[in-house]
Amino acid sequence: MKLWDKGISIDKKIEQFTVGNDREIDMFIARYDIRASLAHAQMLKEVEILSEGELEQLEEGLKMLSEQLENGTFAIEDQFEDVHSKIEFELTKTYGDVGKKIHTARSRNDQVLVALQLYYKENLKEILGKSKVLFETLLDLADAYKDRLLPGYTHLQVAMPSSFGLWFSAYAEMLVDDVYLLQAALKTVDQNALGSAAGYGSSFPIDREFTRKALGFTSMKYNVVAAQMSRGKAERTLSMAISSLTNTLARFSMDICLYMSQNFGFISFPDELTTGSSIMPHKKNPDVFELIRGKSNKLQSLPMEMTLITNNLPSGYHRDYQLLKENMIGAIEDTKDLLDIFNYAIKQIQVKEIDLNDPKYQYLFTVDNINTLVESGMSFRDAYKKIGAEVQDGTYVPDMSKQHVHVGSMGNLSLDKIRAKFPD
């Protein structure tokens, strides 16, 4: 069954190409299409296109389909083009002509658009919630290890003292910026497009404000052409927010992989969180974080894909939009998994004691030594030259007497202030 079927057969090869794997992808939005169909039916009754009895039948049928989804018996068979045709078929099979009325005053265009918006909206809130959990985990770790010294690096060269508290809380505060973008994406999709039909509205006396309230949208996409044009733009906005978040996860994962290596040796994880080698029995590999890094980097290509699919399309609907669904939905599901596994693993991190007597840390405190000279009255420029000359001629002896003062002052992380930045 196809919603656009006019009784004319279509070439099977063309049908297979145009449908693609929509049936499988549409299982992710089926529950949202049922919700939108229910709100649409209730609106049709309010404007007297449906009778009370007809609405009751449709409500009963949609509830039955919703229960099938919950218990795992709902399926989109090969005879159906998508979830929308499946739902209308089931309603028509059970209620006859009443089922055929469900499509009055809407198009498959606004039908899929509103289902996707509802899916995006609900899952963005879930991603925001998981980001909050990781954020709190990182601040807890920052507090627990705020006084533990961690060598800081620039250009991958030993630079200045830092602390594990700074490291953990830095990524926590990075997450705040990612959340700002996720919230912007949420605001973009939180606009009711139902009633825009094929992009040019409906001549029926529909009440779009009714469906906005029924579906819980904060705002309305008032211009029906703009509603259709929002498909593609919503995906670009959402993919950029996901890209920002996964960039943070990828960079953090890279730090972890570096810091676990013997050359750094700053951290470890329980054996059960790592993997070994098939021929080297000593290996303890950070595969989890390598895969997080790889998957996160893969997701960062998504904005370009969304842009290239939609970049030069004129106004109105185009079948190109169908190609947005698969990777966008996959990206959302992957992002939720990445946040879960990252939070699960990072909570089990083992912070090691670092031997500052190791020769590679000889110059870690040069800046502190310069500052000590400045505090005694020497100008910064002269102090810089003095310590620099000592380093150059091999006479520099590190003064680590202030290491705890240094780390302690940097350890004043204002964790409460960082926590307060996380949006509600």
Helical packing angle, 322-346 and 224-260, nearest 10°: 30
Q: Which CATH architecture has domain 12-103?
A: Orthogonal Bundle (1.10)
Dist CA 168 CA 139 (whole Å): 7
75 Cβ contact partners less than 8 Å away, ≥ 6 residues apart? none
Dist CA 211 CA 228 (whole Å): 17
- DSSP letter (8 states) at residue 75: -
Full DSSP string of 345-376:
HHTT-EEPP--TTSGGGTTTTHHHHHHHHHHT
pLDDT truncated to tens, each residue of the chain (424 aa)?
Answer: 444 454 555 656 665 665 567 788 999 999 999 999 999 999 999 999 999 999 999 999 999 999 999 999 999 998 888 899 999 999 999 999 999 999 999 999 999 999 999 999 999 999 999 999 999 999 999 999 998 999 999 999 999 999 999 999 999 999 999 999 999 999 999 999 999 999 999 999 999 999 999 999 999 999 999 999 999 999 999 999 999 999 999 999 999 999 999 899 999 999 888 765 446 555 577 899 999 999 999 999 999 999 999 998 999 889 899 999 999 999 999 999 999 999 999 999 999 999 988 999 999 999 989 999 999 999 999 999 999 999 999 999 988 776 654 554 444 568 999 999 999 8
**Range(s) of the chain covered by CATH 1.20.200.10:** 116-153+163-193+222-351
Dist CA 387 CA 292 (whole Å): 42
| Token pair listed for 266 | 């700053």
**Range(s) of the chain covered by CATH 1.10.275.10:** 12-103
Kindly report the pTM of this predicted structure.
Answer: 0.92
| pLDDT (0 to 100) of residue 163 | 92
Point out which residues pair with 150 in neighbouring strands.
Answer: 162
| pLDDT (0 to 100) of residue 191 | 97
- Superfamily grouping for domain 116-153+163-193+222-351: Fumarase/aspartase (Central domain) (1.20.200.10)
| pLDDT (0 to 100) of residue 423 | 92
| pLDDT (0 to 100) of residue 307 | 96
| pLDDT (0 to 100) of residue 113 | 96
Instruction: Indicate the residue type of 234.
Output: A
